[in-house]
Structure 1
């Protein structure tokens, strides 16, 4: 087969479709490549939209990654914007295309078809959901509408506490609006575990956001005095000038479903490792597909730009390999699943995660262990050290890293990126403790937070650091022993704990029971570890509460 005779049609641009088109051209100069995009822009940075609304990004043109003219002149790729693909005929390998400006419909033939139709915001069928003043944020036109509404508003209700909801909260507060954020779950940021998400919730409240957790929307009503009333699941009516929905997105897979392509249980298009659908001439990439979780092996939806870009490269490579090879061999470039590595910032606080959360591991029935730590982002003796709160999840049997979450003000994403890189290589916590990472006092410490996470986890697996289970704190019969100073203990402590400062332990060993397990706690875990080493060698049965009082407070905030 001669690739020069082949025609590649791509439905949708943005991350996955645009990347696939550009990669296909790099691999084949003579193929005909055509992109159809329903919206006015073929490639734009939708992750920047909240910051465009908030005037952090002041020019709309800064959001445009590539224009149809650039695709034409640089890549010789034909782009049709404001053009909707309305039907796929798999038998004749043609698509029906509607020009949204003229309503004219035409047929286009393909040798390979790529679906990058993305996802659409969730708009639940609530009473009043279609009233004026209720917005979603997914495209540049959406952001224009919100900017226009915000210019005349004082109050806004955000529905949904995911990444978009938090970023919108920060930007709208920055514009001087009174912001209420409703989240039906008992935490913000669903990819995190509750005690880690509690740091973000605390930061939102500190900056004036009216955060209402465990409270959803029942209906919307038009108000004669102001814009809207939002009726909540707790029976309250919230007066607001506008509403922004950030409940999530669902795959825009209707076109694929109508064509008879296989869909997964979550509604996304089912693809193989080469992004091929159940039709051998059709591929799919981006938010419209279901992907395998690299940790649990389960199918999931991951609407992130990074995976979409990689999928576009994989699909383009597979298509050209398919054109060139008639022996059935597969392209060497594959998409092996996702970790879901992500980050966001809210009021100067960075929240990042990779791999599976504890919630996900429980649902998957996987055996795991966890550690908490709260080191400084660089050497403590150098001015300006800020804490990074880290949760590391790993396999009990072999120490394989299963996931990590981190929250802090500086260099948080870098630490999660290191752990994500290690996970892609199926590394263990024993590998983390031995990583050779940059050290200078303004950048890190001789024991980087990533190293420390590995050391704590590895010590536990080697039997050098038995960990108590935070989940059993309220039911345990163990003695809770706080080894901080008397002043620290007086400031705040776990109920029913006893205080025995680390510096007095050797002289007061006779006060500790030998017929009862002892659980140790300190500020962040270090002094409790020192106490464990001492008491264990004296024959006492001892465990450590990982992360100390810092973790206890985070869990208490999540609970309250």
Structure 2
């Protein structure tokens, strides 16, 4: 059952009902957003929020930065407390209260006061489930030892900080190299700990394509992180006083013991669907609660928002589950509006995200190359390497990988990695994807220019130009992976290096012919115009110039190497 085909239920009231009773379960991003929006729409509703923790509306994404010391106090991540919320919105927020049961037929919830153990019932007209997620606890012997921590709530961050301080911890082992794992690796390293990261996948940041996530691997190692890829933790060792180490199983089948003073388990999260299932709400194919575009579940008067609810992809329209704070805030607002007579509807997500990994911003939006191919698209792929601003003002390389549909020319996704500017460019590209932009449209965007912030033709412009030329013009691209695949399949391809001799001496694509661009017109006869031909330079621009020269001289099958030699060498490093 897809999100769009989910049958509409009768949760919302067409007219504002006096004394509408709204109960919200969960008080982080989505729950408080739902309550606040409902209150903005009506003063007649009686709204109660139950939260089993003591903190509300906290920034979970900021927790690693408290552990690392960039955030001085953990209460800076919880700027709104229950008293403030009650005063501002007239909403009763009852922390330390856990909703343990839902009776959808009677429209009641059973609540436990965690301080006293007292149980009581509360009735509702509309029930909002913002129960969020729980950290996945890996099935590893010793995972319940003292000194093993998840990172999900302020209480976890406080416990990690206290453990490090009181025990003068010097070594940390992190299981998982997703968002939280990467942030914790950075912050614990900056705090002075020796950090080992263990990732079962072949690369850190496995949500990205391997040719981009390999750059994240390199950044971690550059800063002294001991990154163990295609590796699992088989046992955590220790005693009643705390962990002392972990046993690892490497990709070659060899085992190794690594000493550590604490373990961070960041292998992922799962939606807390227990109350939703108890209420009779259907789950979607992702395992999260299925909802329609107004966040209504399949049960009358029961809504699901935030990380517990399923969303749908803005491109494929398929159900997806990407637990991000930005999406949680949106879905909470939509439900709060809908149940009080508003017209907001969810428009889907692209999974847009950004994370800092030491000196790099790592961002992505939309479909990766792998996802686009799996979805059935015939894709054009560009690796664009440009400075984020002019080099005379300190510009540094920004790598953008963009994926487009050859049939329609539509931009499908992008990934960006660089010391600065990755967030700005990925936001522009996410906006373009949201509104169905053709890659040719990117060149025409009227973007802000100043040499302190950007180049006259922004990396976004270059991305659009190169993809448009590849799809609509005469300048097809080929990725390093595709070049190697075709060669390994036995295809005879001539590869032409159009760089200077000085650049070629540093590194080159194997089995390539060196003809500098200035000599290409006069030496073109040395090449076979009947063979598939690949031109390349350092990053791609001069390679495109060589491509145009050969096409104008009658070569019919000429592609430019995406991202040039720099990208090829990164790809070669990926292969090991």
Instruction: Name the TM-score, length of structure 1 as normaliser.
Output: 0.96
Cα shift readout 1:381-404 (whole Å, capped 9, x = no counterpart) = x32011110001111111111100
Task: Give the match for residue 361 of structure 1.
Answer: 372
Task: Give the match for residue 124 of structure 1.
Answer: 138
Structure 1 residues 522 and 2: alpha-carbon distance in aligned structure 2, compared to 1, 3 A threshold: closer
Cα shift readout 1:500-524 (whole Å, capped 9, x = no counterpart) = 1111112212211223221111100
User: Does the 8 A contact of 1:223 with 1:229 survive in 2?
Assistant: no
Cα distance in 2, alignment partners of residues 540 and 504 from structure 1: 16
Shift of 1:446: 1.9
| Equivalent runs, 1:87-102 vs 2, <5 Å | 87-102=101-116
| Equivalent runs, 1:12-31 vs 2, <5 Å | 12-31=26-45
Q: Tell me if 1:162 matches 2:172.
A: no
Q: Tell me if 1:336 matches 2:347.
A: yes
| Equivalent runs, 1:58-77 vs 2, <5 Å | 58-77=72-91
Q: Tell me if 1:134 matches 2:148.
A: yes
| Equivalent runs, 1:268-279 vs 2, <5 Å | 268-279=288-299
Task: Give the match for residue 326 of structure 1.
Answer: none
Task: Give the match for residue 264 of structure 1.
Answer: 284
Task: Give the match for residue 10 of structure 2.
Answer: none
SS at match of 2:323: coil
Q: What value does the CA root-mean-square deviation take over the aligned residues?
A: 1.4
| Equivalent runs, 1:194-233 vs 2, <5 Å | 194-222=210-238, 227-233=243-249
Task: Select which of 527, 530, 546 maps to 2:542.
Answer: 527
Cα distance in 2, alignment partners of residues 394 and 527 from structure 1: 22
Task: Select which of 400, 414, 422 maps to 1:390.
Answer: 400
Shift of 1:414: 0.4
Q: Tell me if 1:192 matches 2:208.
A: yes
Cα distance in 2, alignment partners of residues 260 and 333 from structure 1: 25
Task: Give the match for residue 316 of structure 2.
Answer: 296
Shift of 1:259: 2.1
Q: Tell me if 1:319 matches 2:343.
A: no
User: Does the 8 A contact of 2:244 with 2:260 survive in 1?
Assistant: yes
Task: Give the match for residue 438 of structure 1.
Answer: 448
Cα distance in 1, alignment partners of residues 524 and 446 from structure 2: 39
Cα distance in 1, alignment partners of residues 112 and 404 from structure 2: 51
Cα distance in 2, alignment partners of residues 173 and 344 from structure 1: 16
Shift of 1:363: 2.7
SS at match of 2:549: helix
Task: Give the match for residue 6 of structure 2.
Answer: none
User: Does the 8 A contact of 1:195 with 1:557 survive in 2?
Assistant: no
SS at match of 1:311: helix
Task: Select which of 364, 376, 379 maps to 2:387.
Answer: 376
Task: Give the match for residue 282 of structure 1.
Answer: 302
Residues paired across the two proteins, number: 550
Task: Give the match for residue 419 of structure 1.
Answer: 429
Structure 1 residues 524 and 401: alpha-carbon distance in aligned structure 2, compared to 1, 3 A threshold: same
Shift of 1:42: 1.5
Cα distance in 2, alignment partners of residues 309 and 118 from structure 1: 12
Shift of 1:223: 5.7
User: Does the 8 A contact of 2:147 with 2:242 survive in 1?
Assistant: no
SS at match of 2:18: helix
Task: Give the match for residue 554 of structure 1.
Answer: 570
Task: Give the match for residue 182 of structure 1.
Answer: 198
Cα distance in 2, alignment partners of residues 516 and 414 from structure 1: 41
Task: Give the match for residue 482 of structure 1.
Answer: 497
User: Does the 8 A contact of 1:13 with 1:43 survive in 2?
Assistant: yes
Shift of 1:2: 5.0
Shift of 1:371: 0.8
User: Does the 8 A contact of 1:226 with 1:239 survive in 2?
Assistant: no
Shift of 1:429: 0.5
Shift of 1:470: 2.9
Task: Select which of 518, 535, 560 maps to 2:533.
Answer: 518
User: Does the 8 A contact of 2:382 with 2:479 survive in 1?
Assistant: no
Of residues 295-304 and 27-36 in structure 1, the stretch that sits farther from structure 2 once superposed is 295-304
Q: Tell me if 1:401 matches 2:411.
A: yes
Shift of 1:270: 0.5
Shift of 1:460: 0.8
Shift of 1:227: 3.0
Structure 2 gaps, min length 5: 1-14
Task: Give the match for residue 478 of structure 2.
Answer: 468
Structure 1 residues 499 and 305: alpha-carbon distance in aligned structure 2, compared to 1, 3 A threshold: same
Cα distance in 2, alignment partners of residues 556 and 20 from structure 1: 49
Shift of 1:12: 0.2
Cα distance in 2, alignment partners of residues 411 and 467 from structure 1: 25
Cα distance in 2, alignment partners of residues 359 and 367 from structure 1: 11
Task: Give the match for residue 328 of structure 1.
Answer: none
Cα distance in 1, alignment partners of residues 376 and 236 from structure 2: 39
Instruction: Name the TM-score, length of structure 2 as normaliser.
Output: 0.93
**Segments of 4+ moved more than 6 angstroms:** none
Shift of 1:59: 1.2
User: Does the 8 A contact of 2:389 with 2:453 survive in 1?
Assistant: yes
